[in-house]
Amino acid sequence: MTESPVFLLTPRRFEDARGWFSETYSQASMAKFGVNETFVQDNQSFSRQTGTVRGIHFQRPPHAQAKLVRCVRGSLIDYAVDLRRQSPTFGRWVSIRLSADGGEQLYIPVGFGHAFATLEPDVEIAYKVTDVYAPDCDGGVRWNDPKLAIEWPLPASGAVLSDKDAVLPSLDELDVDFAYDGRPLLPLAV
């Protein structure tokens, strides 16, 4: 089990003259990190413009989701925000650059909001989740909440947002309380 509930992993790539092969998910490998959940759905999104911000999203119980996130085209900065009120790191976040070239993946457990910002045009992100999408459990926190003070790598033109993300509530208005497992959010080991 990892010390931090959010962690980075980089699956090994086997290269030859044709290119490379990588096992992007293994239940046995994830169990070595203390992840014993079953992933039930794969999602993928495409963002046309640099500076597209998606998030900060989560699902409430009974359909709360853990995520295993990777960038499959281009590059982005991925964020996990601690939304467990009893955690000493409530409201804190970690971020990491994910790229298709690097193959890095970020594991984000239940109790954390997820967001990303694209660093270039035409970015695709793919992620596995541990529960199905349930619109009645869908939630989020405003991407630019000053209490979070997230450092977004945005172009001079600013963030490209959905109408939904532009009006999400602040952290103080959040109406969810995820369970705290005794592990505070720690900086990502790179």
Domain boundaries, given as residue ranges, for the chain: 7-165
What pLDDT, on the 0 to 100 scale, is given for residue 54? 98
Sign of the alpha-carbon dihedral angle for 125, 160, 66, 130: negative
Average pLDDT (21-45) is: 93
Residue 2 confidence class, pLDDT cut points 50, 70, 90: low
- Asked about 127 being catalytic, the answer comes back as yes
pLDDT digits (tens, 9 = 90+) for 160-179: 999 999 999 999 999 888 99
pTM, two decimal places: 0.94
What are the counts of helices (DSSP H) followed by strands (DSSP E) for the chain? 2, 12
Mean pLDDT, the chain, rounded, equals 96
Whether residue 124 contacts residue 117, with contact meaning beta carbons closer than 8 Å, is answered with no
Whether residue 95 contacts residue 78, with contact meaning beta carbons closer than 8 Å, is answered with yes
With a pLDDT cut of 70, the percent of the chain lying above it is: 99
- Asked about 114 being catalytic, the answer comes back as no
Any alpha helices (H) in 23-95, and if so which ranges? 27-32
Whose tokens are 């931090």? That residue is 4
**What's at 182, amino acid-wise?**
G
Token pair for 168: 């999400």
pLDDT digits (tens, 9 = 90+) for 95-144: 999 999 999 999 999 999 999 999 999 999 999 999 999 999 999 999 99
Catalytic option among 25, 127, 133, 180:
127
Q: Which comes out higher in pLDDT, residue 159 or 22?
A: 159
Residue 189 confidence class, pLDDT cut points 50, 70, 90: confident
What pLDDT, on the 0 to 100 scale, is given for residue 151? 94
Catalytic option among 25, 57, 63, 114:
57
CATH code of 7-165, in short, is 2.60.120.10
